[in-house]
Amino acid sequence: MSDDQQISLLITQSLRRELSPEESQKVSEHLQENEQAAKFAELSKIIEQSVAGISKPDSADFSGDGPGLSEEAKQRLKQSVSGAFEEKLSLSQAGLISHASGSSLKQSGAETSDSDQQQRQLISNFNLVRRLGQGGLGNVWLARDEKLNRNVAIKELRIESLVSPKSWQRFHREAEITGHLEHPNVVPLYQYGVDQSSGEPFYTMRFVGKRTLSNAIEEYHDRIEAGEAEPLCLHRLLSVFLDICQAIAYAHSRGVIHRDLKPENVALDNFGQVIVLDWGLAKVLEDSELANKLASTSLNLTDSSLAQTMHGDVIGTPLYMSPEQAAGNLDKIDTKTDVYGLGAILFAILTGEAPHSKSAAEGHTSVESVLQSISQSQSPQPAESKTCIPSALNTICAKAMARKQHLRYDSVQDLANAIESWMAGQSGKQAAYDTLRMEGRELRADLQSSVFNLERNVRFASTLPPIEALINAQTDEDISVWRERLATIYEGILRANPDYMGIAYCSVDGNSSDPDKQRYREIVRVERHSRDATNLRVLPKSKLETGSVNPFITAVANKKPGETHTSLSCDQMCGGRDFDSNAVRLLSAVPVYDAKTEDVFGFVIIDCDMQQMLRRQMDRRVTAGEIIVACDIFQIMLHHQSGQLLEVSQTKPVAELAPHFQSAVDALQTQTDFIDETNADIFGARLWFTPGEHGLMYLLKRQA
C-alpha cells in the first residue's frame, strides 16, 4: 500500500476513533507536514460530521442510506459534500472540471528541480452532449473531450446514490476492475475523477456508439421472418460471440467473473469491433492477483458486502440469469456462471429471444417467482422455441446452459472451441453444399437444353414441304408419295436424336367448338422399336391410330403458329397413344395451320423417353448422395442413390419414399430453387414446361 493510501486510511480510522495512540501521533505529524493531507482530513471530517448529525455517531455501518435517513437528511448530506468540495478543494489538489476532471500525476524520467517530489497537474475538459443510458448506480453520457477533440463516454454516479459511501465504493470498484482488464474486447477506461461543482465521481471511457448485440440479433431475426436472411448473417453473429468469449476468458484469467452477460452489454461498432461493457456486478475471485490489488485500497468490497449494498436487488439480469444466481447462492458463483451467461447469449442469437422470457411470461407475477422458476426448472433449449435451429448448435447451447454447473463446459475457451469447430465444419459443409447446388442447377440446365432442342425440332418437323402437300393432296397416289417423303425425313430426325421414341403428323377432325366431338387421326408416324433402339419403322396405314381429342391436343390446338406445348405423360396429358404404364414420355407438339382456311388442320408431335434422358444425365460424375426426379403429381421418375440407379414404383409419392425432401417439394410448387438454410443438406431445382402449371423437379441430398 502506498504512503498516501496508508495515511488516507489512518485519517478515516482516526475520525471513527479506531486508532491507537501511536497511530494518532503519526497522523498528526503528517498533517502538520503535508498541506494536501490536511485538506483531505478537513474534508473527511466534514463528511463524518454530516453523517454523525443524522445517524448514530458510533454506528459501525457508515452507510448513509440506512433505514433511519429521511429525504431531508439525505439532501443535507449531499449539500455538505458538495459544499465541502467547492470550499476546500483547490485546482492543485483535485483538479478539474468543467464537466470533467483533473488528476495529479507524478513526473518521472525528466530532470526537475524537486526530483520525484514534484507533481504535474493534468486538466481535461468535457462537454456533455446527451445521455446515452441510465442504470441502477450511474448515468452514462456522450461527451466531447475538448483537449483531444474526440467523443468519449462518461459514467457518473447518480445523485440519489451520492449519500451512500458504499455506492461510491461500488462505483470506484467498477472503474478499478474495468481499468485492470486491458483487452481489445473490453471497453478501455481513460480517466477517473470527481466533478468539482457537484461532488459526483465519474470516469471516462471509449465511446463505442449505441448499437449493441441486441440490435444485431433483432435485425437478423427480422430478416429471417422477411425471407431475406443469408447463412453468412449467422456466421457474423457467431464471430461476434467468439469475440465475447475471448474477452470473458481473459477476465477469468485475471480472476474476474462478469455475471451480468447479456446482448445489451455488448457494443458493436461499425468496423466489426466487439466491446463487452458494464463490469459493475463483476465478482473478483479472492485468490486472484486482482483481488490482492483491490484489497490494498480502502475502497475494496467483498462479494458478500457488495450484495449487501444492493438492498435486496437481484445481482444480474433475470432473463439471462444462471440457476445459481437465481437461487442467491453467491458462494457457488464461479467461471461456469459466465459460461451459462454466454450460453444465454447464444440462445438469443439462435432464437431471437432471451432464454427465460417464457418463464417471465408464464403467469409469474413477481421477480421472486421468476427466479424460483429459473433455479428449479430445467434450462430451456433453442430447439424448443424454433425448429430450424442447427442440431449441433442446439447441443452446444444446451451444454453451456446446463442447470447443474458440473455439466457445463469446463471453461469459456472450451465453449468457444466448440463454436469454432462447428463454424469450421460449416465452411467445409457449405463448400460441399455449393457443389450440390451447382450440380442440381447443371442437371436442370442440361434438361432445359434438351427440351429447347426438342421444341426446335418439332417446329422444324411441322414446316416441311410434305406437310402442306398432304393438306392439299387430292388423290391417294399423291398422299402416298408425300407420306413416304415425310416419313424419310422423320426417320432422319429420330436417328439424330436417340432419346426420341416417335414422331407423328396428325390431323384433327370435327367441330372445333365442341371438343367432345373432335377426333385426331395419324397421317404419318415413325417410331423406334421398343426392344431394339436402332430399329426404326414407318407405321402402315393399318397401324395408324385414331382417337378422341384429349386435353393435351386441345392445348396444342389453342396455340398460335410456331408455339409449342410440352408436357409429361405422367401429367395424364399424353398425345393420344397409350404408352407403357412404366414409361414416362416427354411430349412436345406444335399446331399445323391450313394456309388456305387459316384454321388448325392438325399437329406434329414428338415423344421422348424421359427416363432414358434422365439416366443419361446420371452418367456424369455427381457428388450428391441421393437424387430424386419427380413430376408435378410427385410421381417419382428416377431415384439415384450412392452412385446407383434404384428401381422405383411410379405410383409411390416422394413423401412416402423420401420424407426428408418434403419441405423442398412444397417450396418448389411456387419457386424455381429450394435452398436449405437450416442444415445445408438438401437442394431442389424446378424446371417448368408450362410456367406455373407443368414441370419437373430435381431433389438432391448432400453426401453424408
580-603, pLDDT tens digit by residue? Answer: 555 678 999 999 999 999 999 999
Bigger pLDDT: 661 vs 57 = 661
- pLDDT of 188 strictly over 70: yes
Cα(375)–Cα(368) distance, integer angstroms: 11
pLDDT at 511: 62
Of all residues in the chain, what percent carry a pLDDT higher than 90?
38
Least confident of 102-106, 395-399, 474-478: 102-106
Q: Residue 161 pLDDT more than 90?
A: no
Does 647 have pLDDT greater than 90? no
Task: Spell out the domain ranges in the chain.
Answer: 3-89, 209-430, 445-613, 621-701
Of the spans 121-135, 483-497, 651-665, which averages the highest pLDDT? 483-497
State pLDDT tens for residues 520-542: 999 999 999 878 888 999 999 99
Task: Decide which of 213 and 330 is more confident.
Answer: 213
Q: Pick the residue with more confidence: 214 or 10? A: 214
Residue 224 is predicted with a pLDDT of 86
Could you tell me the pLDDT band of residue 361, with boundaries at 50, 70 and 90? low
What are phi and psi for residue 380, nearest 5 degrees? Answer: -70, 160
Q: How large is the average pLDDT for residues 190-217?
A: 85
Residues in contact with 109: Cβ distance below 8 Å, sequence separation at least 6, in sequence order: none
Does residue 266 surpass a pLDDT of 50? yes
What is the structure's pLDDT at 363?
Answer: 58
Which three cell numbers mark 8? 488516507
Cell, residue 302 = 467483498
Split at pLDDT 50, 70, 90, the class of 6 is: low
Residue 333 near residue 405, CB atoms below 8 Å: no
Whether 260 has a pLDDT exceeding 70, the answer reads yes
Task: Assess whether pLDDT exceeds 80 at residue 659.
Answer: yes
Q: What are phi and psi of 568, to 5 degrees?
A: -105, 145
Query: Is the confidence at residue 310, as pLDDT, over 50?
Result: no
Q: Please state which of the ranges 196-210, 251-265, 453-467, 604-618 shows the lowest mean pLDDT.
A: 196-210
The total number of residues shown for the chain amounts to 704
Cell 501521533, residue located: 25
Q: Which residue has the higher pLDDT, 29 or 448?
A: 448
Confidence of residue 703 (pLDDT cuts 50, 70, 90): confident
Q: How far apart are CA 260 and CA 254, in angstroms?
A: 17
**3-class secondary structure for 403-471?**
CCHHHCCCCHHHHHHHHHHHHHHHHHHHHHHHHHHHHHHHHHHHHHHHHHHHHHHHHHHHCCHHHHHHH
Worst-scoring range by mean pLDDT, 272-281, 332-341, 445-454, 580-589?
Answer: 580-589
What local confidence, expressed as pLDDT, does residue 114 receive? Answer: 47
Give the start-end residues of each E strand in 82-149.
102-106, 119-123, 126-134, 138-145
- Residue that wins the pLDDT comparison between 343 and 63: 343
Per residue in 145-157, pLDDT (tens digit) is 888 888 999 998 8
Whether the pLDDT of residue 78 is over 70: the answer is no
pLDDT at 240 over 70: yes
Quote the CATH superfamily of domain 445-613: PAS domain (3.30.450.20)
Residue with the larger pLDDT of the pair 517 and 281: 281
Kindly state the percentage of the chain with pLDDT values over 70: 73
Indicate whether 64 pLDDT > 50. no
Mean pLDDT value across residues 160-164: 71
SS (H, E, C) 136-159: CCEEEEEEEECCCCEEEEEEEECH
Question: CA dihedral in degrees (537, 543, 548, 553; nearest 10)?
Answer: 10
pLDDT greater at residue 431 or residue 74 = 431
* Whether pLDDT at 677 is above 50: yes
Q: 69 versus 576: which is more confidently predicted? A: 576
Q: Which three cell numbers stand for residue 646?
A: 434404384
Query: Mean pLDDT across the stretch 34-46?
Result: 58
Window from 10-19, 79-88, 406-415, 610-619 with minimum mean pLDDT: 79-88
Look up the CATH architecture of domain 209-430: Orthogonal Bundle (1.10)
> For strand 600-609 and strand 500-509, is the pairing parallel, antiparallel, or unpaired?
antiparallel
For the cut 80, the answer to whether the pLDDT of residue 359 exceeds it is no
Which grid cell sits at 304?
A: 458478500
Pick 568 or 199 by higher pLDDT: 568
Q: Which residue has the higher pLDDT, 48 or 139?
A: 139
- Report whether pLDDT(206) > 50: yes
pLDDT of 170 reads 83
Cell of 93: 489538489
What is the residue-averaged pLDDT of the chain? 79
pLDDT for res 88: 39
pLDDT one-digit tens code per residue, 88-129: 333 333 333 344 444 433 333 434 444 444 444 556 688 889
Residue entry with cell 422477411: 226
- Predicted confidence at residue 274, as pLDDT, reads 94
> What is the average per-residue pLDDT within 464-480?
93
